[in-house]
A and B are shown apart, each in its own frame.
Chain A
Amino acid sequence: MAIDTRTLLRNESMIALVNCHKRFAETNTLGVVKKQNYTKNITTKEYLKSFQHKEYKIDLILKMVMLEDKLKLIHLTDVESRKLELARVLLDNPHTLVLDEFFKGMIDKEITYFIRFLRNLINKKNKKIILITDDMNIVSAYFKHFYLFTKGENYIYIDNMFDDVIYKYVRMPYTVELVKYLEKKGHTIDHDITFNETLKAIYRGVGK
């Protein structure tokens, strides 16, 4: 079935697409955030100014995505590139944002900050977010269900992180890995994949 973002987002404000290789095209209502390979020797601020946005808005958005305004585009890391593209897209103010592997390469503090940031966009600015990622540690931490792409534009709805079909395509998150390993050893563990619930389940199931 072809991808229709409105169908995917019907009842949700934020969804995850796993093993998705489709390239989304930007429109007036859909902004796409992905790593860019820049060739111009200009700064992040100059780049955003080239899209005719007001300076005070640029200064504000750069602070919000934790980027300095004097960084040269050609020296940006992949993480910085995605942050800059997020800034660019937010200045355009689309209704829906597609974030392509946005968290790749970020450390824990950055991930926590940007998850909160995205939730604020949803709650305060009424945005919709589509997160494309293969990182099941992120998916299992922040989503109860997601769409798994199996071939081309074919996808299935997954609401069980322990479904083996997922891990034919992507790597297992640590919590699922641990619970499955313990189950293989004959210990019954509740299938709640937050860190604290897995810890409690181990204590209840296998503790002395």
Chain B
Amino acid sequence: MSKYLKINDYNLIANSKILIKNFHLDFKGITIMLGASASGKTLLLKDFSQSTLDTDGKVEFFFGKTLHKNNPISSYNIELQNLYKYLTMNHENEKQKLALIEVLSRNPDFLFIDDLDWTQNDLALLFMYTNKKNISVFYATSDINKTVFADYLIVLSDNKIAIEGETSLVYNEEKIMKLLGFNLPFYINMSRQLRYYGIIDKICFTKKELEANIKWQ
């Protein structure tokens, strides 16, 4: 039976001010929270990490901190070793990736992650792993291009949830997203325009999807 984690009517208060009001969450799969810098994303996650959440599952948080002492990668199971091997192929943020491997090794049911400065490929690998292991992920970011991985998208603005829903439905609200300060992710935007010209039938989230769906002459 799958685990649940619910957050209802949560107010984030900082310096006697309500930074985010009426936040709610009932998440499964990958939920991404998009918001500008200083919209409260990191504070919200830190607040959650210090609260007792309504859940029957195991919850872990990752704020990007590296470990003082790393366990050797060989001490983890083969799947995590493989994940680490592919994640560190471009040698960026190796210690941070090892620290996240350590968190994943604890087999959480729910994983909250504060924005990582990783490539799209690295994030894709991470989310493939969490999907396979039925780990529900809540990922906070200010980068619209990272939202392509989300099953569910929450957009913060003006101290509240401005828009939320299944990711493709949120992308349909292009004008609202522009008002909130976001252009659509590159491949979403490109495929929407190509669909207008009849070169493609569906909205594509990635380069591979776009290539696979273009109607060649």
Do A and B pair up? The answer is: yes
Chain A residues within 8 Å of B, Cβ to Cβ: 72, 75-80, 105-110, 171, 174-175, 177-178, 181-182, 185, 187, 195, 198-199, 202-203, 206-208
Known: A110-B36, A178-B207. A207 touches B190 (CB 8 A): no
Known: A206-B214, A206-B216. A107 touches B142 (CB 8 A): yes
Report the separation of the CA atoms of residues A182 and B189 in the bound assembly, to the nearest whole angstrom: 17
Report the separation of the CA atoms of residues A202 and B193 in the bound assembly, to the nearest whole angstrom: 11
Separation in Å of the B149 CB from the closest CB of chain A? 16
Interface contact B199-A78, CB-CB below 8 Å: no
Partner of B142, one of A105, A195, A198: A105
Separation in Å of the B171 CB from the closest CB of chain A? 14
Is B210 close to A, CB under 8 A? yes
- The chain A residue sitting closest to B184, CB to CB, is A108
Known: A107-B182, A178-B190. A208 touches B198 (CB 8 A): yes
Partner of A181, one of B15, B38, B186, B207: B207
Interface contact A208-B38, CB-CB below 8 Å: no
Interface contact A199-B187, CB-CB below 8 Å: no
Report the separation of the CA atoms of residues A107 and B147 in the bound assembly, to the nearest whole angstrom: 13
Q: Fill in one digit per residue for B188-217: 1 if any A CB lies within 8 Å of its CB, else 0.
A: 011001100111000000010011001111
Chain B residues within 8 Å of A, Cβ to Cβ: 14-15, 36-38, 42, 119, 142, 144-145, 180-183, 186-187, 189-190, 193-194, 197-199, 207, 210-211, 214-217
Residues in chain B near residue A203, CB distance under 8 A? 194, 197, 199
Main secondary structure of the interface of B (DSSP, over half): loop
Residues in chain A near residue B215, CB distance under 8 A? 207-208
Partner of B210, one of A72, A109, A178: A178
- The chain A residue sitting closest to B157, CB to CB, is A107
15 A-B pairs besides A75-B15, A107-B36, A110-B36 with CB distance below 8 A are A77-B38, A78-B37, A105-B142, A106-B37, A106-B142, A107-B37, A108-B182, A109-B181, A110-B37, A174-B187, A178-B187, A195-B190, A202-B214, A203-B194, A208-B199
Residues in chain B near residue A105, CB distance under 8 A? 37, 142
Partner of A206, one of B42, B144, B193, B217: B217
Separation in Å of the B202 CB from the closest CB of chain A? 15
**Contacts A/B (CB < 8 Å), 11 sampled:** A75-B14, A77-B38, A106-B37, A107-B181, A174-B145, A177-B207, A195-B189, A199-B193, A202-B194, A206-B214, A207-B199
Q: Looking at A106, A108, A171, A177, which has the most chain B CB atoms within 10 Å of its CB?
A: A108
Interface contact B211-A185, CB-CB below 8 Å: yes
List 8 tightest A-B contacts by C-beta distance, closest first. A109-B181, A79-B37, A174-B186, A108-B183, A77-B37, A107-B36, A207-B199, A107-B181
Residues in chain A near residue B197, CB distance under 8 A? 203, 207
Report the separation of the CA atoms of residues A202 and B36 in the bound assembly, to the nearest whole angstrom: 32
